[in-house]
Amino acid sequence: MQTTFNEVQKFLLSGTTAEIAQKLLGKRLCFQTKTGVMTAFIVEAEAYIGPKDQAAHAFQGHRTPKNEPLYHEAGTIYIYQMRTQLLLNLITQKENDPQGVLIRAIQPEKGLTQFQKNREVHQLFELTNGPGKLMQAFGIPKILKGSRLNEGPLSLDLQNFKIPAVIKESGRIGVPNKGIWTNEPLRYFVAGNPYVSRMRKRDIDSKNYGWQ
């Protein structure tokens, strides 16, 4: 039985945005394409805490047509473009409370051939170890911005998941000059997973990839 939007929304409202970012680790993203379903486990996520968060798009209540989905209900998909890359965010709080989680890295499961076709790399772990990389590898289009999870081609599976052995945290990546929010430990990742961005080779758990 597939996870419904209402179940996803309840899950995304079950804690603070920082807590949800941690709970998302190990959950499975599914993307339905013309050639079949592609799935991957979330291994890295970054929380953005709304108007008080200097690094957030909604800092000081900033609201424009571009970031409007941030203000929609939990379970809304917020996709934005940074330079040439698209980035995926999941809205985590009630309507008009603009908080969300940036999906930073995933471990491919089903559809690996399509992942590799969408994004050709020499090293497998380079395929989806960054927020722009995973969007390119999945082939998720910007047109999904503002739509809801589990009502279209992109869904969050809460029934088939992995459990991290250890979750680690750090300051966010690529967020300079944002006061205390630059180093606020709101980036969470599966320790030892080779698909996590900037994971050092010596820290990789080659046996279990950081899962229980």
Share of the chain above pLDDT 90, in %: 96
Q: What is the pLDDT of residues 52-94, one digit of tens each?
A: 999 999 999 999 999 999 999 999 999 999 999 999 999 999 9
Q: Are 201 and 48 in contact (CB under 8 A)?
A: no
Give the type of residue at 119. Answer: R
Q: How far apart are CA 131 and CA 112, in angstroms?
A: 17
pTM > 0.95: yes or no: yes
